[in-house]
């Protein structure tokens, strides 16, 4: 679904100096260098807020409950019902919190414009100037383009949020690398990009954490870095600034930068209203990346990506019965780039979606209703009777 929905942090921070002061001394030095590199005038160094290691889990929980469109357990259950992951939502969330608590030593918080730093000796055992640079780059993004704040506001379109988040992470990685090697040429940066992709492929999900969260975690650091590097090679920091100011509005645009135009999208108004006796759980956009991941649970990854590349917009709505919370339903409307692409998506989804949606409204596979016309496809799964899909416009 969406990038911030992956239950991930902006990125990991490792401090390279002892935390004897509110901010590690090295942070101020790195902040000054990042400011010069990225054109920030005047003194620049975000304030720090130290937290005890035992308070990190609660800090992350608070952050996630603020950033997600619905409570974490409910969001994770939505992923289960939609077929993205398997497992019990409460256990998955606790596993995610435990995983991140063991990894994170701090992060940039745009809401308060501060660096949140975990006060632990471990932060002084690893040279962390490069990763400080990554986080300070996010602070610069906020000061110059308000991008982190804009990400928080993209709750209604997860695909757009995922694409914009990838640009933010990609630019921060570029800052980090160029700060370390100012004279690096494009070949060296390309090698760095390949190394990032190799590391991402080697990253596995810890016990109790579904693969989806790891895949969603690495996407910004691979595809996003590629996009930032492409812009930098084409027009230097001016081109990168434009990317930050106007990031792609979908993962399709991010994945296919050479395509003319941009996806048209599907407005929520084209979805059926919530029936009486039911309540909306989540309305969102899955996007090309999300569609490829979902189909990739049943197909070879390359085949799933090829099918999903025909995506040109989508909107889905998950609802549940007020009197029977175990009974869910789905309405999902997709638009393809061509009629042929819609036929391909339809053929694959009609074959694979029933199995993927087996947990939508147990027991058994839900009843699916399909309507296709022109480039548009709509599917309703376990949708209450009495509301038939309208014929789709071409």
Asked if the bond preceding 143 is cis, omega within 30° of 0, the reply is no
CA nearest neighbour of 288 among 326, 245, 241, 256: 256
In angstroms, how far is CA 71 from the centroid of its own chain?
17
Give the DSSP letter of residue 305: H
10 Å CB burial of residue 373 (0-12, 13-18, 19+) is middle
Kindly report, residue by residue over 328-376, the tens digit of the pLDDT: 999 999 999 999 999 999 999 999 999 999 999 998 899 999 999 999 9
Distance between CA atoms of residues 359 and 83, nearest Å: 7
CA nearest neighbour of 243 among 235, 264, 151: 235
Residues of the chain with pLDDT under 70: 1-22, 25, 120-129, 386-394
Q: What is the pLDDT of residue 1?
A: 52
Q: Are strands 368-373 and 376-381 parallel, antiparallel or unpaired?
A: antiparallel
Q: What is the pLDDT of residue 208?
A: 92
HSE-CB for 232 with a 13 A CA cutoff: 22
> Under a CB-based contact definition with an 8 Å cutoff, are residues 79 and 85 in contact?
yes
Q: What is the pLDDT of residue 100?
A: 80
Q: Which two tokens stand for residue 86?
A: 């398997």
How many beta carbons lie within 10 A of that of residue 53, not counting itself? 13
Q: What is the pLDDT of residue 226?
A: 93
> Under a CB-based contact definition with an 8 Å cutoff, are residues 214 and 203 in contact?
yes
Kindly report, residue by residue over 129-169, the tens digit of the pLDDT: 677 788 899 999 999 999 999 998 998 899 999 999 999 99
> Under a CB-based contact definition with an 8 Å cutoff, are residues 13 and 117 in contact?
yes
Name the maximum alpha-carbon separation found in the chain. 66
Residue 317 pairs in a beta bridge with: 283, 331
Q: What is the pLDDT of residue 11?
A: 38
């Amino acid at each position: 679904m969406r990038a911030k929905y992956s239950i991930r942090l902006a990125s990991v921070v490792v401090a390279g100096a002892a935390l004897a002061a509110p901010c590690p001394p090295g942070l101020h030095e790195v902040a000054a260098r990042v400011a010069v590199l990225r054109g920030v005038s005047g003194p620049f160094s975000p304030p720090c807020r130290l937290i005890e290691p035992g308070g990190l889990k609660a800090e992350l929980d608070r952050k996630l409950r603020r950033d997600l469109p619905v409570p974490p357990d409910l969001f994770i259950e939505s992923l289960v019902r939609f077929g993205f992951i398997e497992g019990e939502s409460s256990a998955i969330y606790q596993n995610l919190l435990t995983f991140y608590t063991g990894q994170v030593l701090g992060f940039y918080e745009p809401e308060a414009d501060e660096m949140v730093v975990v006060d632990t000796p471990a932060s002084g055992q690893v040279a962390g100037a490069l990763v400080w640079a990554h986080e300070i780059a996010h602070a610069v993004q906020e000061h110059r383009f308000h991008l982190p704040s804009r990400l928080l506001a993209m709750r209604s379109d997860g695909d757009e949020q995922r694409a914009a988040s990838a640009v933010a992470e990609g630019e921060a990685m570029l800052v980090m690398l160029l700060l370390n090697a100012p004279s690096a040429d494009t070949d060296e940066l390309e090698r760095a990009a390949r190394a990032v992709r190799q590391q991402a492929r080697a990253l596995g999900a810890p016990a109790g954490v579904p693969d989806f969260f790891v895949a969603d975690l690495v996407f910004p650091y691979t595809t996003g870095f590629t996009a930032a590097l492409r812009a930098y090679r084409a027009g230097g920091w001016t081109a990168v600034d434009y990317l930050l100011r106007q990031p792609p509005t979908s993962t399709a645009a991010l994945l296919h930068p050479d395509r003319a135009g941009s996806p048209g999208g599907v407005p929520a108004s084209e979805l059926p209203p919530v029936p009486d006796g039911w309540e909306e759980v989540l309305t969102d956009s899955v996007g090309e990346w999300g569609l490829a991941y979902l189909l990739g649970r049943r197909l070879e990854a390359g085949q799933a990506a090829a099918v999903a590349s025909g995506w040109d917009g989508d909107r889905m709505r998950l609802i549940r019965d007020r009197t029977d919370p175990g009974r869910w339903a789905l309405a999902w409307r997709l638009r393809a780039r061509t009629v042929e692409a819609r036929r391909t998506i339809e053929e694959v989804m009609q074959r694979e979606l029933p199995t993927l949606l087996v947990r939508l409204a147990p027991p058994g596979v839900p009843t699916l209703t399909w309507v296709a016309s022109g480039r548009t496809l709509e599917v309703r799964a376990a949708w209450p009777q009495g509301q038939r899909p309208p014929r789709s416009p071409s």
